[in-house]
Structure 1
């Protein structure tokens, strides 16, 4: 069925492509945060264990919203880890860093997601995709705030 939402095919393609990168970055950061939640140790265990759980829970909800926006634009969301990994600018991590490295890595991850979100906003604004702006603008705010809080924790 033809899609007639006021954005032409090329615009919907451009917006979906940008959203797929944001989805992949968010999903990869979600996985990293969840792994850190399981494996954090040290003097700040309780605080970080809870903080990481709050963060990964929020991102779990966000990935669904991002994927549904991609579908509303008439495109398929990436649905495998290999697809996500290929699109993500956040690299998978192996090993078990100490708590300080975890916090630092996550701060950098949230900064990267914020940068990716800014690119989505630029694309959405360019093509007049207000719904994508509405979905992504709060994501930018959240990732910038989370990065700040993690940087403050690491100091």
Structure 2
């Protein structure tokens, strides 16, 4: 299993695993997951890495059907400005490949922001650490495990 799944098992967090066959031609990993699992896109969240003007990295978790607002992310993190992190840096820092970046068990622990819309659902889906694997869990469990802040990001 992936480091993300192993961590949740170790912490005895309630979650469900959902697998699907990833299509290499898919242009949006998150929307593909929502479609293949027959789940509303508002409940499937993508894990993004952003950096501030000092190149400090942060994790932003937002619905796959939304776009991260970098100004809101900067404000929530107490920074002047944010930008998307370089793909190679994101993979090296998290230990996961793009399209399979889980918020859990990343190589480096980073400050994490979760879009407040997650709190409107009983459960949400996040990457399980590889393409074609999603973890379903209560948003409060996600926040607790990651010591994250729930804020407006979209």
Q: TM-score scaled to structure 1, two decimals?
A: 0.30
Higher helix share: 1
